[in-house]
Structure 1
């Protein structure tokens, strides 16, 4: 018990160093880095969305460099098959006995950090191959179940502006992502720093900070972070208020087609706990919930066609919920 507590304390001290190592390479995206680390501590998967050229792929790659974890990148393309991700059985022969047998060759999914790059460019059949892995942390093939290594994270990227040759993720798979992290354009000072840093001879070196067992210890500690009954009730009421058939808010009835399910409330609480832990606290505050609410809810609420036409966003809805529903 004392060894575990010591390991958690030591790992907590490394979190600021982990952030600073990532920030060496990823400039001007502090919120995205924080949200990615929240997903990391909470033990969930994250979807990164932003226009091309905002270093989405580089962010994930840098995170893997700053940890002692196996990393694989899968470039999603229209011709990618499920077996290209999961793996496949091959017929082999025992040279001693001459007997033939099938052996399962594991695919790139069997890594600690899996980058699903441009996930919306592959057909639904291949996208669905990730569902079991994301939920069960295991892969089934030919009647056998193969556990995935721990810790295990799927970090996916997608571009919001591409239409041709893309396949929007179904709601069932979107809901498997703990967070939808939006990356925006950097400020002018940060952009100048990026241009200076990326056009020179040297790239800032990234040191590995956290080990796999330390990350798992932090994930266990995250679940033990305290949250009061009043805040749990507030989360439940906010999630329930996103559903048009039961909500008392006019903006929801007018702008929302489909509200968030119970998994959204679970995600809100565990992400708020991770946010508190990231700041070195062992109790959730109102600010923690407000900080993670947009990234948790923005992909779990389906807006009406009218809302989309008027430029109303789920982020605006989240702010309405926070202001309208008191603790």
Structure 2
């Protein structure tokens, strides 16, 4: 009997623990806990040497070059005194682990543990600090270069591919799909005008919502982590996710959203310039980010099941897009 193809497999925790013991200079006892199944598999490693995060990337989602680029970004930021979770080398001084499994090769990386606590940003003070830290990432990486290839966070990534994915899952609701398509086409034309006027382009984190992916310490130190969807892109897009998260996930009213957003911008500008064109483009990127997240949910449904992404889910997204007014 031939081997049946699979889309996704989970590494044996016992085998992975043995691999870590063999390949890392950690003091015993070493414990491994499967922590989170998200876009990747995340484990917590606790040892006599300290606490770490081990991430196993999906075989169909990240190539070795993609991951090497991400690690280059993290090491560059760390070398330039930006607080980020950094990759931890194996005994042979390499960073990327290769696991030959049914669907191909999965790659794994050990990361330092970000000290502090995740917390949703609800205060002006935290928004200001977060804005400063984001600006540090953007400013420091202005001269970053990597020999590894990674796709840009461009219009194909943000608009064309998401629209194609959404259409596949809305064949039974083509009228709604065409509404989204026309809306995004109009936004794309407005964005093209902004791009012509000049928008800041460089390394982006890709998921700066400010609810997770950053740890706060009691003394106000912020450490960013999970750069899995980083790449070159428009900085307006990178900061738009913070604005979007305040608008739809935080429970804040409109005035509170504006106060938090203004504090974020003030913190950002304390470190790095942000032009009027960049700020004006954020409102466009907020909607485009929502489009991208919409398509991501459909992509994930092929792995975790479509029960949560039914017509009710589509209705909630349509409610958002029908309220967009430009």
TM-score by length of 2: 0.30
TM-score by length of 1: 0.30
